[in-house]
Structure 1
Amino acid sequence: MTLRTLFRPWHGLIPAAALALAACAPAPIYQVAPGTVAALPAQVAVSPENYGKGNVVWGGSVIAVRNFPDHSEIEVLAYPLDSSQRPLANAQPAGRFIALFPGYVESFNFPGGALITLSGQLNGSRSGMVDQAAYVYPLVSVSQSHVWTPAQMRQGHPDIHFGVGVGVGIR
């Protein structure tokens, strides 16, 4: 008996397993319209005038929520997004931006450290400070936003591990 005949029954299962694992990843939550700005917040901050009022889909970690009489602002530490538009919080940060919401935003719904994704339109920039350093924040007028739950962040990331040996797992 050759290895080829030994593994023949498994031959069709490998592509099926790969397809099943790929199907686990959730679809993007926002449609990316033609002309959507592909630049990251740090790139826009360098020359905001080059991006005008373009649409963006950005995400990251909530730093602070500030409420004003007629609008609210959420400062976000940006991260690149995965194919499902979830922030990749283990990646290198991609700058900061300020998300502008009309009316009042309950800070309880956007706790510090929460991972969010939003879509909206660039609305200029504002100079500010990060600790003692000057910083230019791109401003985004938000049309839609989503706060990710831990379960949603794990979705599509199968807990399958391959290896040889003995192991004990405790959760």
Structure 2
Amino acid sequence: MCRLPRLLPLTLLSLSAALLLAACAPAPIFKPGSSIANVPPETVAQAPERYIGRAVIWGGQVVAVQNMPDTTEVQILGYPLDSSQRPLPNSPAGGRFIAIMKGYVEPLNYPAGALVTLTGHVEGVRVGSVGDASYAFPLV
């Protein structure tokens, strides 16, 4: 007796389930390219002249939002990103950075503790402080 006809529906069901699960994996938020600098914020803070103008994809946890007259600055504690470009907050932090956005940004849309991912170009470094310690913040 041939078992193939009985196994065929089970095989097709298993294959379909595997394909459906693979399709559920989230795609990256931004398209990485060869022009993207794959460096953490702390590396840029140490040698900003090497990275000014370079594109980065960074993510992390919102620390604070400050609205200025023409821009909004979001201070972010950087974390490594997973394959879908989502921050991994249980990993060691990669330094803080400031995301500069044009215009007014509602602070309640970026509450402290929210996880974000962004892309932009390194514009330089600003020396500020974290508590009483001096700190160099890369600007994106």
Q: TM-score, normalised by structure 1?
A: 0.71
* 2:122 paired residue number: 122
Taking every aligned residue pair, what percent have the same amino acid on both sides? 52
Aligned residues: 134
5+ residue gaps, structure 2: 1-6
How far off its partner does 1:11 sit?
8.0
* 1:50 paired residue number: 50
How far off its partner does 1:78 sit?
0.5
CA distances 1:115-150 after superposition (whole Å, capped 9, x unpaired): 00111111001011111111110000xxxxxxxxxx
Say whether the 8 Å CA contact 2:52–2:121 is kept in structure 1.
Answer: no
The letter for the 1-side match of 2:105 is V
The 2-side partners of 1:33 and 1:81 are apart by 15
The 1-side partners of 2:17 and 2:94 are apart by 34
Matched residue of 2:123: which SS? strand
How far off its partner does 1:102 sit?
0.8
Shift of the 16–91 alpha-carbon distance from structure 1 to 2, 3 Å rule, reads: farther
Q: What's the RMSD between the two structures over aligned residues?
A: 2.0
The letter for the 1-side match of 2:132 is Q
CA distances 1:85-122 after superposition (whole Å, capped 9, x unpaired): 11111111111000001111110110110000111111
* 1:30 paired residue number: 30
The 2-side partners of 1:39 and 1:128 are apart by 21
5+ residue gaps, structure 1: 1-8, 141-171
